[in-house]
Amino acid sequence: MTIKLEIKNVSKKYDNGDGIQDINLEVQAGEILTLLGPSGCGKSTLLRSIGGFESVTEGSISIDNQDITTLPPEKRPTIMVFQGYNLWERMTVFENLEFGLKLRKIPKDERKNKIADMLEMLGISAMAQKYPQQLSGGQQQRVAIGRALVLEPEILLLDEPYSALDAKIRVQMREELKKIQQKLKITTIFVTHDQEEAMMLSTRIAVMKKGEIVQVGTPSEIYNSPADIYIASFIGQMNFLNQENRIIAFRPEDTEFVSVNENNSETFDGVIQSLTQMGHYTQLFVTVASETIILFGSKEVIEKYTVGSKIVFKITKKLSFEKEK
């Protein structure tokens, strides 16, 4: 594995105190790394710093061992797909893709071929002569990705590219992006606040909180061993139970329903508040002491239990965190 992008001790402070602090990150060639976090956590600031749209206060950014910290966006080998696409509305789809190629002084015939191939790959060949306003959101999104990829950047930056699309198209676009990325092997940095999207797309995820990276790992590492309660609650469904001075956390699927309480620290009594058939599994809302948790059981569970009845369950896999003071 070769390191494509190296971020060392990068900080960016805004006058209002927001920003990012002491970011260290290495991105491998050919991977999709997702910056995940709630809005205002600094993920977009970090991405814009990589793209050259924000000048960093401290630290260095290098691509292929070349320091690019002070270069303007036009001199960097990165291309960004913006939130809301930002196609140039006075240019046709073809011209949108051609603009960057022209600046790179690529001969006319070659430009035509490259653009035709790209539009073909994205399935929007018929749209070449249309203007962005005449396209649907999904099509505009494809053009925006095509405009970036046609320039064969070293690193593709995506800033919440699907936030303007409706749910169904979003899922479809994710699949497409993943396929294209696997085909082109292009190093990709993807910013999102949607944990599901991050889990689905990423080779690795960097979880951000208040301007810092709190954990970097593969989706399963992040899901199975979150570094703290914040990450645990942010990724996937997680239950928390207070136990003396600690908090134990477990996934709704990591439980077994048993008949007898063995009175150990893994087994709990609860009262069923609701039972819902979710298809191939049953979702139960259960109160333990005064806390409500969610459990998943097999689809047969709904026939064995009723609302209001007692349930005994054993946690098969749990995490334990110290209580935050």
Partner 1 sequence: MSRRKFILNFSILFIFTFFMYGPLLNTIMLAFATQYQAPHIIPSAFGFTWWKNVFSQGDLLQAFFNSFLIAILATIVSMIICLPAAYAIARYEFKGRSWFLFSFLLSNAFPKIGLYTAIGIIFYKLQLMGTLTGVVLINVLNTMIFMIWIPIGAFQNVYKQQEEAARDVGAGPIRTFFKITFPSALPAIIVAAMYTFLGALDESQGTLLVGFPQIKTMATSMYGIILDQSPMVGAIFAILLIVPAILILWICYKFLGKKSILQQLFVK
Interaction site with partner 1 (CB under 8 A) = 51-53, 72-74, 78-80, 82-84, 86-90, 99-100, 103-104, 147, 151
**Nearest residue (CB) to partner 1, 74 versus 244:** 74
CA distance 325 to 20: 24
Residue type, 180: I
**Nearest residue (CB) to partner 1, 37 versus 51:** 51
CB of 241 to partner 1, least distance (A): 45
CB of 26 to partner 1, least distance (A): 23
The structure tokens listed for 247 are: 């908090």
CB of 88 to partner 1, least distance (A): 6
Contact 255, 315 (CB under 8 A): yes
CB of 283 to partner 1, least distance (A): 41
What 220-226 contacts at long range (C-beta under 8 Å, 24+ apart), as own/partner pairs, is 223/199, 225/319, 226/319
CB of 74 to partner 1, least distance (A): 5
CB of 20 to partner 1, least distance (A): 19
At 146, give phi and psi (nearest 5°): -60, -40
**Nearest residue (CB) to partner 1, 105 versus 325:** 105
CB of 43 to partner 1, least distance (A): 17
Q: Which residues contact 122 (CB under 8 A, 6 or more apart)?
A: 142, 143, 145, 146, 176, 180
**Nearest residue (CB) to partner 1, 43 versus 251:** 43
**Nearest residue (CB) to partner 1, 91 versus 227:** 91
Task: Tell me the DSSP string of 111-143.
Answer: HHHHHHHHHHHHT-GGGTTS-GGGS-HHHHHHH
**Nearest residue (CB) to partner 1, 145 versus 205:** 145
Task: Tell me the DSSP string of 192-252.
Answer: ES-HHHHHHH-SEEEEEETTEEEEEE-HHHHHHS-SSHHHHHHSS--EEEEETTEEEEE-T
The structure tokens listed for 169 are: 């198209």
**Nearest residue (CB) to partner 1, 79 versus 177:** 79
